[in-house]
Amino acid sequence: MKLSVLDQSPVPAGSTPGEALRNTMDLARRADALGFARYWIAEHHAIETLASPAPEILIPLVAAETSRIRVGSGGVLLPHYSTLKVAEVFRMLHALYPGRIDLGLGRAPGSGGLEAFALQRDRSKRLQADDFTEQLTELLAFLHRDFPPEHPFSRIKISPDMPGAPDVWLLGSSAWSAAVAARYGLPYAFAHFIGPEQTVAALEHYRSHFTPSKFLDEPRAILTLGAVCADTLAEAERLAASTKLLIRRIRLGGPRRPVPTPEEAMAELETLGEDADPLTWDASEWPRYIVGDATKVRTALDSMARELQIEELMILTVIHDHRARVHSYELLAESFGLAKHMEGRARS
3-state secondary structure of 92: helix
User: What's the pLDDT tens digit per position in 115-158?
Assistant: 777 887 676 664 455 789 999 999 999 999 999 999 999 999 99
Evaluate whether 55 touches 43 at the Cβ level (below 8 Å): yes
Evaluate whether 199 touches 192 at the Cβ level (below 8 Å): yes
At 59 the pLDDT is: 98
Rounded to two decimals, what is the model's pTM? 0.94
- Cα-to-chain-centroid distance, residue 173: 11
d(CA 312, CA 336): 12
User: What's the pLDDT tens digit per position in 184-215?
Assistant: 999 999 999 998 999 999 999 999 999 999 99
Quick one: DSSP state of residue 50?
B
Evaluate whether 7 touches 66 at the Cβ level (below 8 Å): no
Reported as type and span, the H/E element at residue 237 is: helix 233-251
Q: Is 191 exposed, middle or buried (0-12, 13-18, 19+ CB in 10 A)?
A: buried
pLDDT of 347 > 60? The answer is no
d(CA 52, CA 21): 7
At 245 the pLDDT is: 92
pLDDT-derived band of residue 348, with 50, 70 and 90 as boundaries? very low
At 127 the pLDDT is: 47
Which amino acid would we find at residue 174? S
pLDDT-derived band of residue 18, with 50, 70 and 90 as boundaries? very high
User: What's the pLDDT tens digit per position in 232-243?
Assistant: 999 999 999 999
3-state secondary structure of 174: coil
User: What's the pLDDT tens digit per position in 249-307?
Assistant: 887 777 789 999 999 999 999 887 756 567 666 667 889 999 999 999 999 999 999 99
Q: Which residue has the higher pLDDT, 254 or 345?
A: 254
Residue 294 has φ and ψ, to the nearest 5°, of: -60, -40
- Give the whole-number percent of the chain exceeding pLDDT 90: 80
User: What's the pLDDT tens digit per position in 32-72?
Assistant: 999 999 999 999 998 999 999 999 999 999 999 999 999 99
- Cα-to-chain-centroid distance, residue 215: 20
Which of 143, 223, 152 minimizes the C-alpha distance to 191? Answer: 223
User: What's the pLDDT tens digit per position in 73-108?
Assistant: 999 999 999 999 999 999 999 999 999 999 999 998
Distances (CA, A) of 57 to 64, 90, 301, 339: 12, 11, 31, 28
Which amino acid would we find at residue 108? A
Which CATH number does 2-237+288-347 carry? Answer: 3.20.20.30
At 189 the pLDDT is: 98
d(CA 191, CA 197): 11
d(CA 182, CA 53): 28
Domain ranges of the chain: 2-237+288-347
At 281 the pLDDT is: 64
Angle, CA 225 vertex, CA 209 and CA 17 arms, to 5°: 125
